[in-house]
Amino acid sequence: MKAIQITHTQELNIIDIEKPQTPGQGEVLLKLSYVGFCGSDINTFMGRNTMALNPVIPGHEVGAVIEAVGAGVPENLKKGMVVTCNPYTNCGNCPSCRNRRVNACQHNETLGVQRNGAMMEYITLPWEKVIPAGSLAPKVCALVEPMSVGFHAVSRAEVTDIDVVMVIGCGMVGMGAIVRSALRGATVIAADIDDEKLALAKKMGAAYAINTKTEDAHQRLQELTNGCGPDVVIEAVGSVPTYQMAINEVAFTGRVACIGYAKSEVSLQTKYFVQKELDIRGSRNALPSDFRAVIHYLETNDCPIDTLITKVIKPEEAFNTMRWWSENPGKVFRILVNFED
C-alpha cells in the first residue's frame, strides 16, 4: 500500500509498504480517508524537529473509517464507522500516568513523530485509541486532534466566564484555544502577525484582535483590560518574543498556559513570576475528554471548516506542497492528504 515518508531534510517520498491484513487481539483496522500535515511535520521536513524519527512516516491528524475489528474490541466500534484517533501512547507507570494525566506521559510516542504515523492507506491501532466521530465527515475528523490541543490548554488554564484570555498565535491549535475560551464565556483577545488569521479568529469567537507586528500590543492590551492585563495568556507559537510577551503582559495573579516549543532558550524576567504570583503551566497534547469536546463543538456549531482547510492534496502532491509550505509558513492552517481514491 501507499505511504508518505519524510526521509531526510527537505526530502519526501511515496513508498510502498505491506498492508495490514487482519487486526489482532484488541486492535482496529482503519482505512484512512484524510490525514493532516501539522506544524511538527513541516519542522520534520525542514530538519528542525529533534524529536522525530529519521526517516519517519508522518501523520497524527486522522479521519478514517473502520475496516475491521479484532477479537476483544468493544461492540460500539463497528465496521463502517467514521472515527478519528488519539495518537499518543502512555506507559501507565510514570508519574504523569499515575496522576491520570496520560497526555503528558513521560514516555509518550506520538504517531508521526517518535513512531511512524498515519500517512498511509491503512493502519491498525489499539481500540482504546480509536474515537468515534459521531456525525462528522472524515475530512472534518482530521481537524479534531489539533483543535483538541487548544481545548486542553484552556482546561489547564482553568478559564472561566469572568476571564479575559489572550491567545498568542492563531494557527489551528490557537484557534482551538480561542473557540474553547469563548465557549466558556471568556472575553478573548487574539494576537497574531497575520490579518487574515486574526479576521478568522474573530469569526471563531475572539472579541478583539491585535496584530503584534503592526500595533503596540502592550498599549492595546492596557486599553482593552482597563490597565490590568489579561487574566490568562495562552502561548500557542513557541518563540522567544511570544513567551516573553506572555509573561510581561499577563495580569497580576494571572495564569499562563504554554503550548508552543521554543527552539532556543528564552530569557524571562523571573521577578514577574514572584511579583505577579503567576501560575505558569505547561500544556501538552490532549485528553480523551478534549477530543470529545471538539467533536461536540464541530457537530453543534457553525464552524468555518472550509476556511480552516488550506489545501486538500493527493499523496503524489505532498513533496511540492511541503516545499511550498516551507516557503509560505504564515499562510497555512491545515493541509489534508486525501487517501480515499
Is pLDDT at 212 greater than 90 in this prediction? yes
Q: What string of DSSP letters covers 207-257? A: SEEEETTTS-HHHHHHHHTTTS--SEEEE-S--HHHHHHHHHHSPTT-EEE
Is pLDDT at 238 greater than 90 in this prediction? yes
> Mean pLDDT, to the nearest integer, of 148-169?
98
> Mean pLDDT, to the nearest integer, of 229-252?
98
- C-alpha cell at position 8: 531526510
- Chain centroid, CA 303 distance in Å: 16
- Which residues on adjacent β-strands are paired with residue 64? 32, 83
pLDDT score at 104: 98
> Mean pLDDT, to the nearest integer, of 152-157?
98
> Mean pLDDT, to the nearest integer, of 284-292?
98
- Which residues on adjacent β-strands are paired with residue 36? 61, 336
Query: Grid coordinates 524571562 are at which residue?
Result: 268
pLDDT score at 302: 85
- Chain centroid, CA 66 distance in Å: 23
pTM for this prediction: 0.96
**All structural domains of the chain:** 2-142+304-338 (3.90.180.10), 149-282 (3.40.50.720)
Is pLDDT at 8 greater than 90 in this prediction? no
pLDDT score at 332: 86
pLDDT score at 247: 98
Is pLDDT at 331 greater than 80 in this prediction? no
- C-alpha cell at position 339: 487517501
Residue % of the chain over a pLDDT of 70: 100
The beta strands (E) that lie in the chain are given as 2-8, 11-16, 27-37, 61-69, 82-85, 122-126, 130-132, 164-168, 187-192, 208-211, 232-235, 255-258, 279-282, 309-313, 334-338
131 pLDDT tier (thresholds 50, 70, 90): very high
Is pLDDT at 330 greater than 90 in this prediction? no
Phi, psi (deg, nearest 5) at residue 14:
-90, 125
Q: Where are the alpha helices (DSSP H) in 118-239?
A: 138-141, 144-156, 172-183, 195-203, 217-224
pLDDT score at 328: 86
> Mean pLDDT, to the nearest integer, of 98-111?
98
- Which H or E run contains 339? none
